[in-house]
């Protein structure tokens, strides 16, 4: 997308996050309510919603459908947020839609995410998608995507995140996420803490079509390799033997939830077992789901992950301990100011021998010296050895350090951290992440 136009769009972040459906409702009404012309699955949660969204999109692509996928944030190019059959929207299709909706920034003070959501719905409607998978941006109840009337909804793992907007108790957060659940439409609740189940049942006691996936499945024989996972599970309909490039217990849960949803919608969107197997196996190329415990190099291992809250980082730490029990890691880490980065670093300290902290170019990113100060005030009680904490000016310098040392490396903490390293990773590791559009730093 043209630089000036992209800058205009990203400048709307000055309006911040303004929950509510009035603005998105007015925008979409003005253009004929395209959201009512698409058939969609709507997904909310704290962790796993991107994986579940991508898995569903991949399964439906393997079944031969034209599948829209709307996710956020992007890793490198804005276009990645809006895909059909895994291919990001082209600049030629994107630019006129952005121009069309940018006027609402002036007339309604519409936010960045509201305009982006309107662009996605209009694009999916105009291109006659068969089915769309729509991920919430944040929360659910007042998320711009909640203007949808979907075929089904999914609630992924719920944990603490965006507490300044969603509330500081798990009950508050569940309340916001559960806002996507619609009467007379099935909702699949992925594996969660018992308190989440309790709150959901209390909040939605009048709704009988909540399906708690964990209560209706049995998992056997999980076999983990660094970049491959095999496991078996059964539903009320079928037995499955899955090969997955996504590894870890949390991905088992995401895969099972996706399969339950696809099974339920078979009458309207037929899929067979092979579509499910191939959808899981090919999820990265079919949906663009990159940087989820992804190995760029096997020996010594070099792993990247966009995990950016304590729960997701805990899953990564547990995986490292499982598949690499004796290894200590050089960790390149960065975080946004509003994330609980101290808790993330406490978790990572169990696996790390060095923490390398670059400054990111994004204004929401926390400065590395602030992370260091807060971290070192608390860290010694959480690790058995003194960690080497290294401050560097930028991500390029951080990479040069780990390249020279050529030791096991983990890059984690933020989508924006991975974003700044995409070009280096493509060059150094022949990473198959395709750059679809020119990048500008906002």
pLDDT of residue 434: 84
Q: How confident is the model at residue 10 (pLDDT cuts 50, 70, 90)?
A: confident
Query: Which pLDDT band, with edges at 50, 70 and 90, does 440 fall under?
Result: very low
Residue 3 has pLDDT above 90, yes or no: no
**Rounded to an integer, what distance in angstroms lies between the CA atom of residue 170 and that of residue 427?**
42
Q: Is the pLDDT of residue 384 over 60?
A: no
Indicate whether 1 pLDDT > 90: no
**Is pLDDT of 168 > 70?**
no
- 405-439 CB burial, b ≥16 within 10 A, e <16: eeebbbbbbbbbbbbbbbebbbeeeebebeebbeb
Q: What is the pLDDT of residues 263-307, one digit of tens each?
A: 999 999 999 999 999 999 999 999 999 999 999 999 999 999 999
pLDDT at 441 over 50: no
- State the pLDDT at residue 165: 53
Per-residue pLDDT tens for 233-263?
A: 999 889 999 999 999 999 999 999 999 999 9
* pLDDT at residue 9, rounded to an integer: 85
- Catalogue all structural domains in the chain, each as residue range(s) with its CATH number: 3-287 (3.40.1190.10), 294-429 (3.90.190.20)
Find the mean pLDDT for residues 158-164. 69
Q: What average pLDDT does this structure show over 139-144? A: 91
Q: Which residue has the higher pLDDT, 139 or 195?
A: 195
**Total Cβ atoms within 10 A of residue 91:** 18
pLDDT at 379: 67
Question: Can you give the pLDDT at residue 382?
Answer: 58
Look at residue 79 and tell me whether its pLDDT is greater than 90: yes
Count the Cβ atoms, other than its own, within 10 Å of residue 381.
Answer: 6
pLDDT tens by residue, 305-355:
999 999 999 999 999 999 999 999 999 999 999 899 999 999 999 899 999
As a whole number of angstroms, the distance between CA 234 and CA 218 comes to 6
Cβ partners under 8 Å of residue 116, min gap 6: 9, 72, 81, 82
Mean pLDDT for the stretch of residues 390-419: 97
If pLDDT is split at 50, 70 and 90, which confidence band does 2 have? confident
pLDDT of residue 169: 85
pLDDT > 70? residue 161 = no
Band of pLDDT at residue 166, cut at 50, 70 and 90: low
pLDDT of residue 20: 82
Which tens digits make up the pLDDT trace of 181-240?
998 899 999 999 999 999 998 887 676 689 999 999 989 889 999 999 999 999 988 999
Q: Is 223 helix (H, G, I), strand (E, B) or coil?
A: strand
Q: What is the mean pLDDT of residues 377-394?
A: 77
Instruction: Return d(Cα 130, Cα 414) in angstroms, integer.
Output: 33
Per-residue burial over 43-52, b = 16 or more CB atoms within 10 Å of its CB, e = otherwise: bbbbbbbbbb
For 20-71, how does the pLDDT look when each residue is reduced to its tens digit (9 = 90+)? Answer: 899 999 999 999 999 999 999 999 999 999 999 999 999 999 999 999 999 9
- Show Cβ contacts of residue 14 under 8 Å, excluding neighbours closer than 6 positions: none
């Amino acid at each position: 997308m043209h630089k000036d136009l992209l800058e205009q769009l990203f400048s709307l972040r000055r309006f911040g996050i303004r929950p509510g459906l009035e603005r998105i409702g007015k925008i979409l009404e003005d253009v004929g309510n395209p959201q009512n012309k698409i058939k969609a699955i709507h997904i909310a949660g704290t962790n796993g919603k991107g994986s579940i969204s991508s898995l569903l999109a991949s399964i439906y692509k393997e079944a031969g459908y034209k599948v829209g996928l709307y996710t956020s944030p992007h890793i490198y190019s804005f276009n990645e947020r809006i895909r059909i059959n895994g291919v990001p929207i082209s600049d030629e299709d994107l630019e006129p839609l952005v121009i069309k909706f940018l006027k609402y920034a002036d007339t309604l003070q519409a936010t960045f995410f509201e305009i982006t959501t309107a662009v996605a719905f209009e694009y999916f409607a105009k291109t006659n998608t068969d089915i769309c998978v729509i991920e919430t941006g944040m929360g659910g109840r007042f998320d711009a995507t909640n203007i949808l009337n979907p075929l089904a909804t999914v609630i992924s793992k719920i944990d603490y995140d965006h507490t300044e907007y969603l509330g500081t108790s798990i009950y508050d957060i569940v309340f916001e996420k559960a806002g996507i659940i619609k009467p007379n439409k099935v909702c699949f609740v992925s594996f969660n803490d018992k308190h989440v189940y309790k709150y959901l049942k209390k909040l939605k006691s009048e709704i009988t079509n909540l399906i708690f996936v964990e209560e209706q499945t049995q998992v056997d024989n999980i076999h983990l390799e660094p970049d491959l996972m095999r496991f078996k599970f059964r539903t009320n309909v079928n037995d499955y033997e899955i090969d997955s490039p996504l590894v870890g217990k949390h991905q088992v849960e995401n895969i099972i939830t996706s399969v339950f949803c696809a099974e339920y919608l078979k009458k309207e969107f037929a899929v067979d077992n092979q579509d499910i197997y191939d959808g899981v196996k090919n999820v990265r190329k079919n949906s663009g789901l990159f940087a989820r415990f992804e190995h760029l190099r096997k020996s010594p291992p070099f792993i990247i992950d966009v995990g950016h809250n304590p729960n997701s980082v805990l899953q990564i730490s547990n995986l490292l301990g499982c598949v690499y029990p004796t290894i200590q890691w050089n960790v390149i880490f960065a975080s946004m100011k509003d994330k609980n980065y101290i808790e993330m670093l406490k978790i990572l300290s169990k696996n790390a021998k060095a923490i390398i902290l670059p400054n990111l170019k994004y204004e929401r990113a926390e400065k590395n010296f602030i992370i260091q100060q807060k971290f070192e005030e608390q860290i010694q009680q959480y690790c058995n050895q003194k960690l080497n904490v290294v401050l560097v000016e930028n991500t390029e310098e951080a990479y040069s350090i780990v390249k020279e040392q050529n030791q096991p490396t983990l890059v984690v903490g933020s989508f924006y951290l991975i974003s700044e390293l995409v070009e280096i990773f493509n060059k150094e590791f022949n990473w198959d992440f395709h750059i679809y559009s020119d990048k500008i730093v906002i």
